[in-house]
Amino acid sequence: RVAVNPNTPCRRCRWCYRGEPHLCRSMTACGVTYNGGFAQYCKVAAQLALPLPEGSDLPSDHWAMMEPISCCLHGIDVAQITAGDTVVILGGGSIGLLLMQIARHAGAGRLILSEPNDRKRGLAKSLGADEVVDPLELGDGLAEALREMTAGGADVVIEAAGLPVTAGQALKTARRGGTVLFFGVCPPNFELPLSPYEVYHSELTIRGTYTNPFTDSRALQLLASGRVQVGPIITHRFPLEQVAEGLDAVRRGD
């Protein structure tokens, strides 16, 4: 049994030579730039197949989460969370819930998650969130409320929803000297108003994170050890002939 990293860099460009293969401009990906997935069998290059740790009895669908966990690990590395930090995560979907768990293991002292779905907020609490908030209740006052909860702003704010509204909220939620990490995938044509003066005056650090460079083996260990729980995040199982129904359930937020 193996888990699969779908990404293959060219290994010949400037970024690959610099040890940044995830930024390769010629990256190919199984299921993205060539066919793979949503099938009974899938052929991948041997270098993309990671043998699972011996003795593990986790079901196969848990190991399928290795790739998103490895991406989240890279995000937490980039965010540079230090022991005791207050971390706010905007978005409690599967990615937000994975980021939250890894942030805790990275040393976060207080975790606050914002998510409009009641079921997902409950799941966040069961997986380790210290506090959860409903952004629909707070509306335009969400960032201000989070700043009050964190005595002036969070040390690290992670945007994990990929929505224009949460992207704007992220910049208003970090403390002076804090870090904002854009992890969610916003629409390519969306642009966010930004005050360079505020970035300067508050000494904000704004980071982006992309895919999963050199984090696969750590993701496997987090799964094997049970430090990251994915079972509660898997809500549905669909046979291949119902793939379209499964994707519709994702789009509905179910």
Q: How many CB atoms lie within 10 A of CB 160?
A: 29
CA 225 to each of CA 53, 65, 228, 230, 245: distance values in angstroms, whole numbers, following the listed order: 10, 14, 8, 12, 33
What pLDDT, on the 0 to 100 scale, is given for residue 56? 84
pLDDT at position 136: 96
**pLDDT recorded at residue 215:** 97
pLDDT in tens, the chain (254 residues): 899 999 999 999 999 999 999 999 999 999 999 998 888 898 899 999 999 988 888 999 999 999 999 999 999 999 999 999 999 999 999 999 999 999 999 999 999 999 999 999 999 999 999 999 999 999 999 999 999 999 999 999 999 999 999 999 999 999 999 999 999 999 999 999 999 999 999 999 999 999 999 999 999 999 999 999 999 999 999 999 999 999 999 888 88
Q: How far, in Å, CA of 243 to CA of 190, rounded?
A: 29
Q: What is the pLDDT of residue 29?
A: 95
- The pLDDT of residue 214 is 95
Q: In 3D, which of 94, 112, 85, 111 has the Cα closest to residue 179?
A: 85
CA distances to 10, 15, 24, 166 from 18, in Å: 13, 5, 10, 33
Q: How much is the pLDDT for 37?
A: 84
pLDDT recorded at residue 55: 85
Q: What are phi and psi of 89, to 5 degrees?
A: -115, 125
Token pair listed for 158: 């992670």
pLDDT score of 254: 82
Token reading at 69: 């966990």
Strand 174-182 to strand 28-29: parallel, antiparallel, or no bridges (unpaired)? Answer: unpaired
